[in-house]
Amino acid sequence: MTQTELDLIHRYLNGTIDEAHYVRLQAVLRDNPEARRLLRALSTVDAKLQDLAAANPATMQAFNATAVSLRTITDRILWLRRLPWLVLASASMLMVAAIWMMGKARSSHDGYIATLVFADACEWQAPVGLREGQRLAAGSLRLRRGMAVLRFDSGATVVINGEAEAELRSRCSALLQRGAAVVCAANESAGFILQTPASDVLDLGTEFAAKVEPSGATEVHVLEGQIAYRKPSLHGRCDDEPAGELLSAGQAVRYDHPETHTPRNVALNATRFEQLLQQAKFEPHAGSLIAHEPFAYPAGKLPPLQGNGGTGWAGPWQRAPWCKVSKNLAGDLSIVVSPFKMPVPPSGESAHILEAFDGFQTVLRRFARPIRMDRNGIYYMSGVVRWEAVPGQIVAGSQVRMMLRASADLMGEHLLLNLPSHLHPQIQRRPNEVYTSPSTVPVNESQLWVAKIIAQQNGGDEMHFRIYGEDETPGFIEPATWHVSVRGFRSDARLDTLGLSTYFGTGRYWFGDVRLGTHWRSVVPAPRMNAAKNVTHKEGNT
Amino acid sequence: MRTFVEPVNNTTAPHAPHEDFLRLFMRHEAELRAFVRACLPCAADVDEVMQEVSVAAWRKFSTLTDPSMFARWTCVIARYEILMFRRRHARNRLILDEDIIEKLADEGIEEIPLRHAQLDALDHCVAKLPRERRDLVLAAYAPGTSIKDLAAQMNRTEGSLYQLLSRIRHELLRCVERTLAQGA
């Protein structure tokens, strides 16, 4: 082995190898058994160091700027969620396995572990200025008053109600230091661990409440399913730790003091997740709707310049400058009364929608309050879209789109939602940067398209896109699952133009009720939110 | 139902299959991870394959007749899962060619006892590292660590930190080889 060949192996293990060196490394590995032996031996060193580092928070604290340590969790806890057998296993084995995996876990790529999906009259002490929709990293959370719903990336949903102090530790664990919380971790999000000063509580696919008094006295109430609990222990390997105890629905225990070793039984006295949410106010926040186009124009042809209804717009609709005007329509838009079942309730007596065929191409409209991707902000966009076509006969290349562009550079950077002919929803940032969902959606139904955009001043922007079909009800809080998500990109664009587009149009298309806002509830209409309360927290996980 | 008990954990009560599986998996996880790591350059990819391996191994656990073969058996499953992972992702990532993965895996399966000994020796070798180096390398390998941030904190360049980590890794391997040679 030459030093150069050895360097190739180290670059490979460091994850810093480029394509050219990769080709050379492959040639070396293919022909040289000693190189392969060395790679396996150095990989063993590498795996051991990862193992030791994950189980050694004290050492990591020496480098506190980078030490995320046990507060962050890892993809490896996913093992727990993806092993249905573990839910059936004994509580003790499950507790050992869960904490063992958590202790060795790795952090998510962007450092975020949860999302604040709902906040009602919240007054935060820390972090200051938390906003609904905001992604949360590991760290402290202090709520002075109000109700907050957090969705952890593992899928577990936690309601904090009233004065509370907590520490978000990982995508599937949190420490409740004071206050009350209800944890709902159904099915595959089972395995969420809520730590308290007196006990660790492992959710086995259920719903439970925990209350921690200022003295540290702690109560755990099981509202549904089963939990396992045990004295706190999160340091080091847990193979030798004592087993956890099981507690089933209807049971509750109390530790009168954090040092109490064995809790006593108490009567169940906790409010269920749904009941808590029913106490909350779901009206959209005042001023959270940036722009709204209900297409409440008289049915018939509509010259674009007369398309200036709705709220929050800086001008009327106009055809995109790159469009060739159809002879049939002479540039007019076409408004019809919707003959379809609409996924959102109409603003007036009947829903008017924009017909988009016969050479429709692209229409644009500027909104007054731009989306600044160079500043911190959270935005949502929704719109009704219907594409009628014969399945199996959709011409390749045809597609329907909603997009956000910059009026200063219409052909420049953009954020685009697309349903192409293969019917896999897509997000596009640039012509050659397309992200495609593994799922397909059907045509011939009225869909509600919803997108979430997280703009970050220092990069790490995100965009998520979900299509709701006619048989799906959007929840009153944003979904746990999106059709396609893009994270970690950087954009400084100033997006102030909405576009609706059909491309190589085959079939017939309609658009309706387009909204832009800063909250989920400002773009997902209220009547459906109430209907969805019962199902929201039971949605699947990303 | 067949039950088996690991020699070192010999107890009188038979274990449920999931307990047997969990014990065996936890015992051999480090060897398995090292095996997968050699074939995949990205830690997140290793995690993904490890998940698939754990699920597949559990599903097939009832077919394992000899628990002493667990490590070899899971490595065979891992070999298959690595190749499946490669087929799913080779177009958009730098992943070794299939023939190289097969060679690495086939030879790696034969080295399972050696891997076990290497991992044991590493406990001793890491403990012997000077404190400063040990803290550095464990910080670098800690969950969520950014090498860029760590380098900035140490007033080093990212490249020089990677070089230092490579040297420490190689020192550890030499220590392992010396330790195993002395014990032979």
pLDDT score of A379 more than 70 = yes
Q: What is the mean pLDDT of residues A487-495?
A: 89
Indicate if the pLDDT at residue A448 is higher than 80: yes
- Name every chain A residue with its beta carbon within 8 A of the beta carbon of B162: 10, 14, 16
Q: Check residues B22 and B117 and name the one with the higher pLDDT.
A: B117
Distance from CA of B150 to the nearest CA of A (A): 6
Query: A350 or A138, which is more confident?
Result: A138
Asked if residue A133 and residue A38 are part of one domain, the reply reads no
Residue A287 counted as domain residue:
no
In a domain, A222, yes or no: yes
Number of domains in chain A: 3
List helix spans (H) across A209-298.
273-278
Which residues have CB under 8 Å from B26's CB, separation 6+?
A: A97, A100, A239
Chains A, B: CB pairs < 8 Å: 201
Domain B111-184, CATH among 3.90.190.20, 3.90.78.10, 1.10.10.10, 1.20.1250.20: 1.10.10.10
A23 touches B: beta carbon within 8 Å: no
Q: Chain A: nearest CA to B90, how far in angstroms?
A: 13
Q: Which of A88-92, A113-117, A502-506 has the lowest mean pLDDT?
A: A88-92
pLDDT at site A506:
67
Structure confidence by residue, pLDDT tens digits, B116-153? 899 989 988 988 888 888 888 888 887 667 888 888 87
Assign residue A344 the CATH number of its domain. Answer: 2.60.120
Q: Which domain holds residue A354?
A: 292-536
**More confident of the two residues B116 and A324:** B116
Out of A239-253, A301-315, A479-493, pick the least confident.
Answer: A239-253
SS (H, E, C) chain B: CCCCCCHHHCCCCCCCHHHHHHHHHHHHHHHHHHHHHHHCCCHHHHHHHHHHHHHHHHHHHHHCCCHHHHHHHHHHHHHHHHHHHHHHHCCCCCCCCHHHHHHHHHHHHHCHHHHHHHHHHHHHHHHHCCHHHHHHHHHHCCCCCCHHHHHHHCCCCHHHHHHHHHHHHHHHHHHHHHHHHHHC
Chain-chain contact of A93 with B143 (C-beta, under 8 angstroms): no
- Quick check: A19 contacting B, CB < 8 Å? yes
* Whole-complex ipTM: 0.89
**Are A525 and A427 part of one and the same domain?**
yes
Q: Give the distance from residue A420's alpha carbon to the nearest chain B alpha carbon, in angstroms.
A: 21
Quick one: A209 and A335 in the same domain? Answer: no
Indicate which of B15, B37, B180 best probes the interface with A, i.e. most A CBs within 10 Å of its own CB: B37
CATH of domain B14-110: 1.10.1740
Considering the domain architecture, whether residues A298 and A272 belong to the same structural domain is answered as no
Structural domain spans, chain B: 14-110, 111-184
Q: C-alpha A224: how far from its chain's center?
A: 25
Question: Which tens digit of pLDDT belongs to each residue from A452-478?
Answer: 999 988 878 999 999 999 888 888 889
> Residue A57 burial (CB < 10 Å; 0-12/13-18/19+)?
buried
Separation of first and last alpha carbons in chain A:
45
CA distance A220 to A320: 59
| The residue count for chain B | 184
Chain B contact for A66 (CB, 8 A cutoff): yes
Write phi, then psi, for A385 (nearest 5 degrees).
-135, 135
SS3 category, A430 = strand
Q: How confident is the model at residue A28 (pLDDT cuts 50, 70, 90)?
A: very high
Query: Is B145 within 8 Å of A67 when comparing Cβ atoms?
Result: yes
Q: What are phi and psi of A335, to 5 degrees?
A: -110, 135
Whether residue A181 is predicted with pLDDT greater than 50 in this model: the reply is yes
Same domain, A333 and A465: yes
- Residue A486 predicted with pLDDT over 50: yes
Question: CB-based contacts of A429: which residues, under 8 Å, 6+ apart?
Answer: A413, A414, A415, A416, A463, A486, A489, A491
Q: Is residue A66 predicted with pLDDT exceeding 90?
A: no
Question: Is residue A246 scored above 80 in pLDDT?
Answer: yes
Closest residue of B to A113, CA-based?
Answer: B144
- The answer to whether A67 contacts chain B (CB < 8 Å) is yes
Q: How confident is the prediction for chain A on average, in pLDDT?
A: 79
Same domain for A503 and A437?
Answer: yes
Question: Letter for the amino acid at A509?
Answer: Y
Residues A125, A80 within the same domain? yes
Exposure pattern of A2-31 as b/e (b: 16+ CB <10 Å)?
eeebbebbbbbbbeebeeebbeebbebbee
Per the CB < 8 A criterion, the answer to whether A426 and A434 are in contact is: yes
Residue A306: DSSP 8-state: G
A190 and A251, same domain (yes or no): yes
Nearest to A111, CA basis, from A142, A78, A136: A136
Q: Any idea which of A232-236, A333-337, A428-432, B82-86 has the lowest mean pLDDT?
A: A232-236
Torsion of CA A171, A177, A179, A184, to 10 degrees: 30
Please report whether residue A60 resides in a domain: no
A249 & A362 share domain? no
Residue A262 lies in a domain: yes
CA atoms within 13 A on the CB side of B17: 13
Contacts of B150 in chain A (CB under 8 A): 63, 65-66
Q: Do A36 and B107 touch (CB under 8 A)?
A: yes
Please, which residues have CB within 8 angstroms of residue A305's CB and are 6 or more apart in sequence?
A: A316, A317, A318
**Does residue A324 sit in the same domain as residue A236?**
no
Q: Are A271 and A352 contained in the same domain?
A: no
Q: In this structure, how many other beta carbons lie within 10 angstroms of the beta carbon of residue B169?
A: 22
A434 inside 8 A of chain B by CB: no
Gap between the Cα atoms of A112 and B179, Å rounded: 42
DSSP-derived letter for residue A129 is: T
Q: Average of pLDDT values for A259-285?
A: 84
DSSP A127: S
Domain check: are A270 and A296 in the same one? Answer: no
A6 touches chain B (CB under 8 A): yes
